Structure 1
Amino acid sequence: MGRNLQTGGWLRPVDLAREHGLSTQAVRNYEEAGILPPADRTAHGYRRYTASHAAALRAFLALVPGHGHGTAAAVMRAVNEGAAREAYRLIDESHAQLLEDRRTLHAVEKALRDLEPLGDTPETPGSGAAGRAGSGSGGTFIGPLARRLGIRPATLRTWERAGLVRPRRDPVTGYRVYDEADVRDVRLAHQLRRGGYPLERIALLLDQVRSAGGLEPLGAALADWHARLSARGRAMLAGAAALDAYLHTRA
């Protein structure tokens, strides 16, 4: 991007904005938020940006797709305040989260491989441990199931209202009873929520699983999840390159 000759080699807010299709107010907002370093001012109070400011804006916009707006802004503020180690720590945390998300996806795929075929196959009456439904019927209650998954019972009730799972009620106690098929649905919902899927989409997928009589509908969701993680990893690489270029302007 060439410098504007009318400003004596300095860049104006509009020069930075045009490169990215932004408004000049957005550029000023980024400076006020610490995403861009403070600009010098003319005698009349106009901002005078440099090539380093342009590189900072490129770095921030490149970081956002991989790290999110909040982390990208925090990284840029840390760099501009001279706290490079804090910026690197934030970036490391994003990479660690991406790795954890990949592990979660692997766990989802493993859970799918380990799941029994669709069907109501409750546990043998009387064979369960404490916490399973009584009255001669197999299954488990909401508390033990929630503890098993490391979530709150309220979360399972929310998922029920959203149509993700449909437990029956014990005829004696009125408590929710989750049979083996329900537990499978809860496990899938739990893993997909960890993968960032909204409740509405999970409910649709589980409906498809139940109506189709199999787990094939989840194949497309898992492929999409893989694609999103790969895109995030690629975006992190692009963000790292742009940030490195900005750091060189400050050296």
Structure 2
Amino acid sequence: MSQTFLITGASSGIGYELAKVCGRDRHNLVLVARREEPLKALKSELESAYGIQVWTYRADLTQAEARQQLFGWTQAEGIAVDGLVNNAGFGDYGPFVETDWDKQEQMIQLNVLALTHLTRLFLPAMVARQQGKILNLASTAAFQPGPLMAVYFATKAYVLSFTSAIASELEGTGVTATTFCPGPTTSEFQENSGMGQSKLVQGRKLPTAAEVAELGYQAMQRGEWVAVQGLSNRALTLASRFLPRKLLTNAVRQMQSPA
């Protein structure tokens, strides 16, 4: 039977590519983003290529009422969401003292509150049906503090902690929760966050959003608790468990500094 996956932040980057991977496997899709035109184009492409049903929904998920309205709309349309992919999020680069507070607040609203709220809205029906999958996008940033992107790293640490906790709670229910932690990826994120100037990404050949999306999708399908993209990233996350926190944080600051 065909399942339906809801993907936030589906208009570009990893979310866009996750939609294509889900479509390839004949899953129906609910695509959510603030930009409607890319969603419509993707809907047409996927329906034509795979014969699936695709709904699009324009929403600013930083707003609690928008999240509630999205959930209400799926109920009114009779759409049973079998998989929830909380991909929407963004970052900001620079010393915290110099950042724009409104942007930091919106980041917390989207990266933390929206992800948590949508999970709470859609999870009960999955548990009642005894089947479902949740994929929450974190980052390798989740494993250590991040000078020059302090709030972003902190939000991703929350995603890792929260999703691991509910993964444990969900054991035996038929529902799984996966935290996916990609490293730097070729996408709009670098430009939008300003991170493109850092040593961490400057001059490096980064994996494509399509490559990263495939790994995240497969981890979700297997029901893994935590999946880290790339051997080097896995080695770094392992090392972060053993290094003194001050040493680790200062090392991250060096990597994050402008090239």
Output the TM-score relative to the length of structure 1. 0.22
Larger helix percent: 1
Choose 1 or 2 for highest CA Rg.
1
Higher relative contact order (CA 8 A, sep 6+): 1
Q: Which has the higher strand share?
A: 2
Q: TM-score, normalised by structure 2?
A: 0.21
